[in-house]
Every structure is written in C-alpha cells, then in structure tokens.
Amino acid sequence: MANKPGGWSDTMDATEKIQNICDQVKVRVEEKTHENYREFKAVKYIYQIVKGENYVIKVHVGGEDYDHLNLFQALPCDRGEIVLHDVLQHKTKDDPLIPFN
C-alpha cells in the first residue's frame, strides 16, 4: 500500500497481475533493449497511484541478470493502456527498486 497519496509503495513480491503486465510489454522491452529474452519473470515491484498506476518492476531475464521496467497503466475507464517508459538493464537480484524516468 502506498504510504501517502502520490507516494510510492514498499517493495512487494510480484503477483500474477504484475506478471501479466510484464507479459504484455515483453515485446516492447525486447525492442527497446535489442534483446531476445527466453526468461522474463517478474519478481518484485513498487507502485504509485496517479490517475492510474506507475510501476517499477524487477524482472529476472536469465542467469544473474535483471531488468527494471518503468511503466504506467491507465485506469480501466481510460482503456487500461500500459505504457513502457524506460528499462534499466544489467541490474542484480539485490539492486533496490527506485523510481526512474
């Protein structure tokens, strides 16, 4: 749960909903990073509620390598579109999730 309106949540374990979001943006992540991921498993995330939800999601992409995804999901009344803003590559299992643009 977010600590205050507009604030970021604590880091949480990824859920089926978060994995589903990642599955929907995998192709866009591959285009942005010029990678072809055989593994793409959401493990942790933080979120912020702002006329939809901002997410930073840690995704295991194989071996010791993780990507951090920065994305936004619009409200259902706004079609629930998911927008991938950016990707940080070559992160580790222990790197903290920090909002970025």
pTM: 0.93
> Tens digits of per-residue pLDDT, 61-101?
999 999 999 999 999 998 999 999 999 999 999 999 999 97
Q: Contact, 82 vs 72, CB < 8 A?
A: yes
pLDDT at residue 8 in the model:
96
Residues 100/89, Cβ–Cβ less than 8 Å: no
Q: Any bridge partners for residue 34, and if so which? A: none
Separation CA 90–CA 47 (nearest Å): 21
Query: 72 exposed, middle or buried (CB, 10 Å; 0-12, 13-18, 19+)?
Result: middle
What is the total residue count of the chain? 101
Model confidence at 18: pLDDT above 50: yes
Q: Does domain 12-91 have CATH number 3.10.450?
A: yes
Q: DSSP characters for 42-71?
A: EEEEEEEESSEEEEEEEEEEETTEEEEEEE
